[in-house]
Structure 1
Amino acid sequence: MYTNMNPDSEPWNIALVDNDALVRSYLETYLGGLPEFNICWSMQSGRDAVEAYHHSIACTNCVPDLIVTDLSMHGMSGFELCATIRFENDHTPILGCSSYMIEPYERDAVNNGMQGLLLKNELAQLADGMRTLLSGQPLLKSNGMPYETPQQAHERLLMQGKPAIMSMSPNEQAVMELCSEGLSTRTIAEETGDSESTVKTYISRAMRKLRAKSRAEAVASWSRKTKL
């Protein structure tokens, strides 16, 4: 079972992540208006969501029973967000949602430990999928096979090792984001207030964690992992 929550008692705590403020507000209004759901927190980026998740766990305050996330977000995609949380968490289902066709993203969803993919503009279907996951039942992939449970995905990711972005420090992530914007080492140093030597160290560490042989390869890998 994914949750011990009794749907006849307290509503399920739902966490929402979407970088589009209008869409996020729309989802909050619709889903929060259903009696079985309580929006415990709502974030606009993957990094903010990871921080909110860790805060809720530490404070045992509004711990989500289900996380619903957009796929394409600046800095950390929904897939990287999922892998980061799933690496630590073996019980909370994570549902990806998109405004576009979902089948092309199914492999990434599975690889990063999601429990399903649904269209965010099909609100009734989205709510039904959330109820299915929270009742302990799996959603099905396009081939009719079920998605992994949180525990199955967690165990697989543990075997594979820590996700690359999760292993990078905030400074390394910030520098890689600036690199992806085409900025030079000198300009990045000016932007961050670090020395050029320090920036080069961050880039070198990021390259190693991304298993890249060059700065260009690291930037390409970073962009693939954080931007769809």
Structure 2
Amino acid sequence: MTRKIGLVDNDPFTLAALRSVLADMSSCTVAWAVRSALEALELCAGEATRPDVLVTDVSMPDMNGITLCRLIRSATPQVPILAITSYNLDVYAMQVAAAGAQGIVNKDDPMTITAAVAAVGSGAVWPYKSNGNGRSMAVRFRTAEQAYGSVEASPAAQAIATLSAKELAVVRLTCETLGTFAELASQLGCSESTVKTLAQRAYRKLGVSNKRELMALWNEGIMA
């Protein structure tokens, strides 16, 4: 059985390297590779695009990997998740496990990445070993099935997950640039009236009434 792998990392060089590493595995194929956690969330929700394993970076600008894990695992047990990071694993291991992922590995260790993908894809977990620093850490990872039902995403993250791709784009640009509707329309390549309509829909779904409330919810939702 060939497993479909989904990759998400905001660094294009990391995505290219991961594609190369996983291409040598006869048991899997890269179904898609994206630079946005929000896009990965949408792909994982679609029956036709849902991967057999998701490999996600922990630190991304539009939504961190831990929140992404929580949103996916609170919704389904069908997507095993392997987290990757270039930082010390001890910093994130416990948070990633609590968010419902099945393991965490360093980006710079291709052999470990392929072994971990194979393990997670087969329904197992990738055992965690402390990175050292003079201390030991006992972090228990659970399978996707075991974690499902016990992981909850924050209300803010759940609200953001209800937005359509176009609504998300408007909200993200609003929070990141504080631009006017005309400026957002120029960046998105659509009319100002379209941006206004999308913004109104997003505000209603998120239960906010102004940019200050929107930014507060956005920051909570992508980092929670």
Shorter-chain TM-score category?
0.7 to 0.9
Contact 2:70 2:152 in 1 (8 A): no
Q: Residue deviations 1:19-58, cap 9 Å, x none?
A: 2222111111111112333222222222332343344x23
- Conserved 8 A contact 1:74-1:227: no
Residue 154 of structure 1 corresponds to 148
Instruction: Find the residue that maps to 1:14 and give its secondary structure.
Output: strand
Pick from 19, 23, 34: which aligns with 1:28?
19
User: Could you tell me whether the CA contact under 8 Å between 1:185 and 1:199 is conserved in 2?
Assistant: no
Cα distance in structure 2, aligned partners of 1:51 and 1:206 = 17
Aligned to 1:6: none
RMSD: 3.5
Count of residue pairs brought into register by the alignment: 212
**CA separation of 1:105/1:214 partners in 2, compared to 1, >3 Å: closer, same or farther?**
farther
2:109 aligned to which of 118, 122, 126: 122
Contact 2:160–2:206 under 8 Å retained in 1: no
Q: Secondary structure at the match of 1:157?
A: coil
Q: Conserved in 2, the CA contact under 8 Å of 1:206 and 1:218?
A: no
When normalised by structure 1's length, the TM-score is 0.72
Quote the offset at 1:170 in angstroms: 4.0
| C-alpha distance in structure 2 between counterparts of 1:39 and 1:124, whole Å | 17
* SS of corresponding position for 2:32: strand
Matched ranges for 1:101-120 at <5 A: 101-120=88-107
Report if aligned partners of 2:170, 2:195 keep a CA contact under 8 Å in 1.
no
Change (3 A) 1:220 1:123: farther
Between the aligned partners of 1:103 and 1:224, the Cα distance in structure 2 is 23
Q: How does 1:1-228 map to 2 (within 5 A)?
A: 10-55=1-46, 57-58=47-48, 64-141=51-128, 142=130, 143-157=137-151, 163-170=158-165, 172-183=167-178, 193-194=192-193, 201-202=200-201, 204-205=203-204, 208=207, 215-216=211-212, 218-226=214-222
Counterpart of 2:145, as a letter, is: Q
By how many angstroms is 1:128 displaced? Answer: 2.0
In the superposition, the TM-score normalised over structure 2's length comes to 0.73
Runs of 5+ consecutive residues of structure 2 not aligned to the other structure = 131-136
Percent sequence identity over matched residues?
A: 27
Distance 1:107 1:205 in 2: 35
Contact 1:175 1:188 (C-alpha < 8 Å) held by counterparts:
no
- SS of residue paired to 2:151: helix
The unaligned stretches of length 5 or more in structure 1 are 1-9
Change (3 A) 1:179 1:28: same
* CA-to-aligned-CA distance 1:100-153 (integer Å, 9 cap, x gap): 223323344234321122111111122222222234332345532421221232
Q: Tell me, yes or no, if the aligned pair for 1:17 and 1:42 is still in contact at 8 Å.
A: yes
Q: Is residue 109–residue 117 contact of structure 1 (8 Å, CA) maintained in 2?
A: yes
